[in-house]
Amino acid sequence: MRFYLFIIISVISVHFEAQVLDTSWRTIVARGEDAWFASKEAQVIADNVLLYQRDVGGWPKNIQMHKPLSQKEKETLKALKKRPEGCTTDNGATVQEMLFLSKVYRQVPRENYRIAFLKGLNYILEAQYDNGGWPQFYPLRKGYYSHITYNDDNMVNILKLLKEINDNSGYYSIRPSLPILNKTRKAFNKGIDCVLKTQYKQNGVLTAWCAQYDRQKLLPAGARSYELPSLSGKESAQIVLLLMSIEDPSDAVINAINHAVKWFEDVKITGIDVKLKRHQGRIVHKEVVVDKTALPLWARFMELDDNTPFFCDRDGIKRSSLAEIGDERRNGYAWYTREPQILLDEYPKWKMKILPAGEMQPKAHHNVVVSKDGTGDYSNIQEAINHTKAFPYDKVTIFVKNGIYYEKVKIHEWNSNIILIGESKEHTKIIYDDHFNKIALGRNSTFYTYTLMVEANNVVLKNLTIENSSGEVGQAVALSVISDQVAVINCNLLGHQDTLYTSGKGKQYYQDCYIEGTTDFIFGSATAYFENCRIHSKKDSYITAASTPRESRYGYVFNNCRLTADEGVAKVYLGRPWRIYAQTVFMNCELGAHILPAGWHNWSKSEAEKTAFYAEYKNYGQGSKPDARVSWSKQLSERESELFSKKAVLGNNKDNLKREWYENVL
């Protein structure tokens, strides 16, 4: 009886092993987690996986890891351990092996499986470029292998792995240490940032992604002879699905998804299908046929300028139809895909999921209307503010119709969550004319001269002109902000000396604003980020006078701004330190010829040359002369510039992609 039982068990075991060996490595890795991963067969395969892993942490691609190894083959693999050549994440390599080890480890928690998994994770972290992308091969290989690679879902596979680990979802049974988790979170965020930066703009409109990008210029790049720079109908779908998996997505992520979905809708192909003829499991003929009942298709490659599908043989010449290329490439490559349909099916559910977090577009209604002609709820702005609820839970919108409002306005500390929005920036004007000598309250009179003061947190000012009209009579503030999480969007801030006072230790965001003045016309201690603003000098003097507290991590950051001046103005400094720990950084800004070569002034405070932080990064224009700047200022490297991103300066969620306060400001 025992003999027959042994025979039965042996037959079952051999049959089962034969089933495993006859399938593909990808299929084995993808199978659902079950008791098989505790079996002897699984452990033998895991030992193979360990042998194939190189000391650098990665694995080669297209290896059937489950195939039995002879002793000679094992010795050869051991000898290759120290050679990193061929390690890659292409075609699922490294990520697949890590997943398999994780599944076996859950059943058989051996330390060598855990160590190999973590070595693989470290390999992936080491392979990431500073800009957030990943190459096909690491260590780097010459040619297209070093491009940032979305092809065959290379980056998506990596980012999915990092996301599962960061989310502690339990998908992977091996949990890294806290320091490594911090690295994986940073790597994921940088990766998503790279995804957003590389979304292709067609005539200024976001579309989809290309299969690979130049790692330095972030421009579309080709790979193999038949893989020319193009928009991808296949890889882009998986990128968008990844973005849709992010909880509480930022505005940038939402914007990327919405534009990509619209692009997929625009470029889908209907009325045709691809018919395949197989022989012994291989595709031997592929043909496009008319079929009005077929599900939509998307082309693998589309022209960058107009989305026209194209096809290419190994000669690298574009053709307009699949029939025009040879059998080898026609039958051996996936020229069409239906993957985007999964995305389009999921999109409505994703849209409903994010809607409760707040509408993505400005609401059409306004809580309170101010109008000079008496048709609103109030005829002046201050009255409207005074009648709003103190410390409201919800946003209170005060819509101000076009007109000149000659009044001194104060948004009190208890008037938080106010949105003060004008009908138009050019014609909704708040004007007052207090100045230092008019106030006459002693040495601190400047701080009483404001036209509009914001004391409350969580305030938005939009589509307004805020002006101190006293003229060139000394200190005269137009806008004073002394609170936290205040956004000023599409506003004109007009004055002469001390136009904008950014006070306190809070965070302030200025976008698409025009700010003009003469001397120190942007000054104060707050952390403030200026984006896409025009900074206009009206006389030879100083633009900024930061008084950044010693303990503050950031002061002023100007990004993608344009510095201009009145005619005849030719000697303007970027800044001087009102207090000796002043911090001011100009990045990617166009500097006019009025900016002095020295750039910065120490305000006759020699100690400030050691304590202040004045820096620039990739500025351009006639006023950008990095070699002529004062020796105590700094030109940032690309890595250093990342420390001054909007999220780094203003964000409160440094290690994730949740919506930040400045992304909820209309």
Entry field: residues in the chain? 666
Closest residue by Cα to residue 173 from 101, 95, 66: 101
In SS3 terms, 424-472 reads as CCCCEEEEECCCHHHHCCCCCHHHHCCCEEECCCCEEEECCEEEECCCC
- Residue of 202, 199, 305 lying closest to 256 (CA atoms): 199
Residue type, 558: F
Question: Residue 565: enclosing H or E segment and its boundaries?
Answer: strand 562-565
Stretch (H or E) spanning 347: helix 339-354
Exposure of 505 in the CB half-sphere (CA atoms within 13 A): 5
Q: Report the alpha-carbon distance of residue 519 to residue 475 in Å, rounded.
A: 9
Query: Pick the catalytic residue: 193, 313, 484, 520?
Result: 520
DSSP string, 122-168: HHHHHH--TTS---SBSS--SGGGGSEE-GGGHHHHHHHHHHHHHHT
Is 498 noted as a catalytic residue in this protein?
yes
Distance CA 318, CA 227 (A): 10
Task: Select from 339, 281, 329 the least CA-distant residue to 150.
Answer: 339
For residue 370, give Cα distances in angstroms to 127, 137, 265, 379.
57, 61, 42, 5
Question: Over the range 193-231, which residues count as b (16 or more CB within 10 Å of their CB) and which as e?
Answer: bbbbebbbeeeeebbbbbbbbbbeeeebbbbeebbbbbb
Q: Both tokens of residue 197?
A: 């930066």
Which helix (H) or strand (E) segment is 514 a member of?
strand 514-517
Distance CA 229, CA 569 (A): 46
Nearest 5°: CA angle at 479, between 476 and 481? 125
Spell out the residues 6+ positions from residue 374 whose beta carbon is closer than 8 angstroms to its own. Answer: none
User: Hey, is 119 helix, strand or coil?
Assistant: helix
- Contact present, 439 and 432 (Cβ < 8 Å): no
Angle between helices 339-354 and 251-267 (to 10 degrees): 140
Of 90, 152, 484, 498, the active-site residue reads 498
How much helix, strand and coil, in percent to the nearest 5, is found in the chain?
35, 25, 45
Q: How far is CA 485 from the centre of its chain?
A: 21
Rounded CA gap, 56 and 138, in Å? 9
Give CA separation, 492 vs 422, 437, 470, 473, 513, in Å. Answer: 11, 25, 16, 20, 6
Amino acid of residue 105: Y
Collapse the DSSP code of 370 into the 3-class scheme (helix H, G, I; strand E, B; otherwise coil) and give the result.
strand
* H/E segment holding residue 584: strand 583-587
Is 470 exposed, middle or buried, given 0-12, 13-18 or 19+ CB atoms closer than 10 A? buried
Q: Is 520 in the active site? A: yes
- 339: buried, middle or exposed (CB in 10 Å: 19+, 13-18, 0-12)? middle
Kindly list the catalytic residues.
498, 520
